[in-house]
Amino acid sequence: MLGGIVNVQPALENKVIAVIGGTTGLGLAASSAFIAAGASVVVVGRNPESARVALDQLGKKARAITGDASAPETAQCAIAEALSAFGGFHGLYHVAGGSGRKMGDGPLHEITDEGWRATLDLNLTSLFYSNRAAVRQFLAQKSGGSILNMGSVLGWSPSPKYFTTHAYAATKSAVTGFTKSSASYYAPLGIRFNVLAPGLVETPMARRAVEDEEILAFIKTKQPLDGGRISRPDDLDAAAIYFMSDASKLTTGQLLAVDGGWTVSEGQIPK
């Protein structure tokens, strides 16, 4: 302390983080926040143009990888890039995933075999590959580290009228079980696993809901905080920084819902 001013180090100074699904939406917002907090990031996305735009936005403390998160080599490449470009690897944030509605997800009796498999690959298999790659690297470098997985309130708090994608809900429920069991096993090695679960967030995935006045009216009572609105991607940034930082060094196996009140609110269906 000098002259009454406290010198506080950025929360993520010298951290190197891979963000799977980091070129748009929640992942891009978090990546920008991580850099502002002192980190270097490697972002992964499927679309080359989105990766280019993200890299332009994030600047010199970022690298971008284009690849399919549901392929086992994609996360491995991201971690290798983190080591090569920035000399370390300290955390993984898995955001990649999305709705399987257009692929055949829906109510159980309508889910196609292809829709089921595609939704599981998109949301669960991709997460398995990234988490496995991160743990293998932490073990190889004999270090602890932080893994943060993207869940959803739909994994345990359904909304049967407006959000009926049962394969998606199954994957997000599985994310919690997978994360907690992994957290238990690897805790003695200092490898932490946690879940961040949003409600409805304004992302490309949520376009159907954002453009539906009836759903927006429902959300005002289902997510009543801050005026009853759909969340923005940056609403989750502070929580993501916490889980990626040493502030959470005693936190593992936890699920944090940043959901505007979704899980504690009944939600009124317009008549």
* 7-38 confidence digits (pLDDT tens): 456 899 999 999 999 999 999 999 999 999 99
Which residue type, as a one-letter code, is found at position 53? V
Residue 33 CA to residue 189 CA, distance in Å, equals 27
User: Would you state the pLDDT for residue 36?
Assistant: 98
**88 in a structural domain:** yes
pLDDT in tens, 176-211: 999 999 999 999 999 999 999 999 999 877 778 888
Q: Is 38 within a domain?
A: yes
Q: What is the per-residue pLDDT for 271?
A: 76
Q: Residue type for 163, please?
A: F
- 161-170: average pLDDT: 96
Confidence of residue 134 (pLDDT cuts 50, 70, 90): very high
Question: Could you list the residue range(s) of the whole structural domain that residue 132 is in?
Answer: 16-264
Question: Residues 124-134: what's their mean pLDDT?
Answer: 98
**End-to-end Cα separation, the chain, in angstroms:** 60
* 238 belongs to a structural domain: yes
Residue 9 maps to a domain:
no
Across 52-66, 126-140, 149-163, 207-221, least confident range? 207-221
The stretch 129-142 carries a mean pLDDT of 98
Residue 6 lies in a domain: no
According to the model, what pLDDT value does residue 1 have?
43
- Do the domain assignments include residue 270? no
Average pLDDT over residues 126-132: 98
Question: What percent of the chain stands above pLDDT 70?
Answer: 97
Q: Is residue 5 part of a domain?
A: no
Q: How many domains does the chain have?
A: 1
Across residues 237-241, what is the average pLDDT?
98
Which residue intervals of 148-193 are DSSP H helices? Answer: 166-186
State the pLDDT at residue 86: 98
Mean per-residue pLDDT of the chain: 95
Q: 255 lies in a domain?
A: yes
Q: Is pLDDT at 92 greater than 90 in this prediction?
A: yes
pLDDT for the residue numbered 2: 46
Q: Which amino acid belongs to residue 247?
A: A
Give the residue with greater pLDDT, 84 vs 9. 84
Nearby residues of 140 by Cβ (< 8 Å), 6 or more positions away = none
For the residues 146-175, what does the mean pLDDT come to?
Answer: 97
**What per-residue confidence (pLDDT) applies to 20?**
98
Helix pair 25-36, 48-58: axis angle to 10 deg: 20
**Contact criterion met (CB below 8 Å) for 158 and 169:** yes
Nearest to 34 by CA among 47, 48, 21, 18: 18
Q: Which residues contact 192 (CB under 8 A, 6 or more apart)?
A: 144, 145, 146, 147, 183, 186, 243, 248, 249, 251, 252
CATH code of 246's domain:
3.40.50.720
What pTM did the predictor assign?
0.94
**pLDDT above 70 for 46:** yes
Q: Above 60 in pLDDT, residue 3?
A: no
Q: 98 φ, ψ to 5°?
A: 160, -175
Give the pLDDT confidence score for residue 8 in this predicted structure.
55
